[in-house]
Amino acid sequence: MAGFTIRPLNRPMQSHKRQRTALSKTLSLGLLLALASFGADAAARNLPEFNASFAVHAFNIQLGTSEQQLTCENSDCTLVATAKPSSFASLFVKEYTEERVALQQHNASLVWQGYQKITHRKNGNDKTVTFELSDSQPAEVLYPEKQRSWPLQDKLYDMASIAYALQFARLNKEPLNNFYLQDTHGQEAIAPTLVNEVKEVTLADFETSYPAEAYSFATSKAKVKVWLLPEYSFFPAKIEVYNTEADKTIILVLEELPELL
């Protein structure tokens, strides 16, 4: 069985101060040049490396922040998402999570290579969920903590990476079909569809809006909607997950445009 290893990050997550003045007055020349390469007309077909910060909402309040980063060495990439409660939420939320996803970008494809989630708890009773690829042929997805396995599907992703898989597909003008979602319960085929009535999305400051495309899909346990920014290489701006069993919704909203690395 292949061990799940993801290279350590060479650059730490960076927090960002939200700027509330108009972008045309505040963006430096360097950032403008970076955004130009990040625009919808850019020729790049790969996901760019980035830092991004999302506000996490549930029960109509902001519970915390999810810091997300993508870094690559050649075709091997690591997506890291660290979600921590706010000062207020930490009074009753005694844990934070770190997710790592191994991806490969090559030949106009984004290939999922594995996933690990660690729930860090203040009492020290941490919980780990790992999905890794077997050495066998054909390869399987292994869940060693529960000694379960599933076949490796094309276009298989997890909840941490599915929004970026949609971004990659839109960048490359690929059809949004034949996707699979992996979680601890198994695998499900999903069919993202365009939500025609959505034309824009508002960021976490409740003031800044951008033109957007929204796509929705459903699993046996959740209804999911993802907003993408066509003017910024279809970067995900908002992710809404409604758990149909728990009747609970969690929303991630981009705090500001991502920082390119």
Nearest 5 degrees, angle CA 120-CA 93-CA 87?
105
**Strand pairing partners for 113?**
none
Largest Cα separation within the chain, whole Å, is: 56
What is the pLDDT, as a whole number, of residue 108? 82
Determine the CATH number of domain 47-260: 2.50.20
Cα atoms in the Cβ-side hemisphere of radius 13 Å centred on 223: 7
Residue type, 64: G
Blockwise average pLDDT, block size 10, the chain, 261 residues: 43 38 38 43 73 95 96 96 90 91 91 97 93 95 97 96 97 94 96 94 96 97 97 97 95 97 89
Q: How far apart are CA 149 and CA 57, in angstroms?
A: 33
Of the chain, the end-to-end C-alpha distance in Å amounts to 34
Beta strands per DSSP E along 9-94: 50-58, 61-73, 76-85
What is the pLDDT, as a whole number, of residue 16? 39
Q: What are the residue ranges spanned by the domains of the chain?
A: 47-260
What is the pLDDT, as a whole number, of residue 15? 38
Q: How far apart are CA 171 and CA 46, in angstroms?
A: 8
